[in-house]
Amino acid sequence: MLNITDVRITKIEGDEKLRAFAALVIEDCFLVGDLRVVEGEDGYFVAMPSRRKRDGSFKDIAYPLNNGLREEIEERVLQAYEVATGNRALSRIERGEETQVRPDLLGVEEFGFTPKANP
């Protein structure tokens, strides 16, 4: 799968739900920043980088295209958060809950990518 070589955590104080920002280093040469460690009603989770749209809503700008990669990223980020803060970050993955990739985020055509046709 993806070779995540480093996870960097920046702890946040004083926010109601946001606990930290995280950045992933992939293959020691590509950094994906602005992931967020959030404490929700059902435990901690990792929110993908996003930006505010003109209508005030948010749209993820980087995200995994399958559940396996989403789970791997969440696990690595929450482990790094635990090491950096000493706080236990029980995740949905540890509890055996299924995580879902939101289908509204899978429009690769929006980014100018054309899916390969099967010959």
Contacts (Cβ under 8 Å, ≥6 apart) of 117: none
Tell me: the pLDDT tens digits for 5-33?
Answer: 999 999 999 888 999 999 999 999 999 99
Superfamily of domain 4-111, CATH level 4? Stage V sporulation protein G (3.30.1120.40)
Is the per-residue pLDDT at 102 higher than 70? no
Is the per-residue pLDDT at 34 higher than 60? yes
Partner residues linked to 45 by β-bridges: 38
Dist. CA 78–CA 73, nearest whole Å: 8
Q: Which two tokens stand for residue 14?
A: 């004083």
The model's confidence at residue 49, banded by pLDDT at 50, 70 and 90, is very high
- The answer to whether 78 and 20 have CB atoms below 8 angstroms apart is no
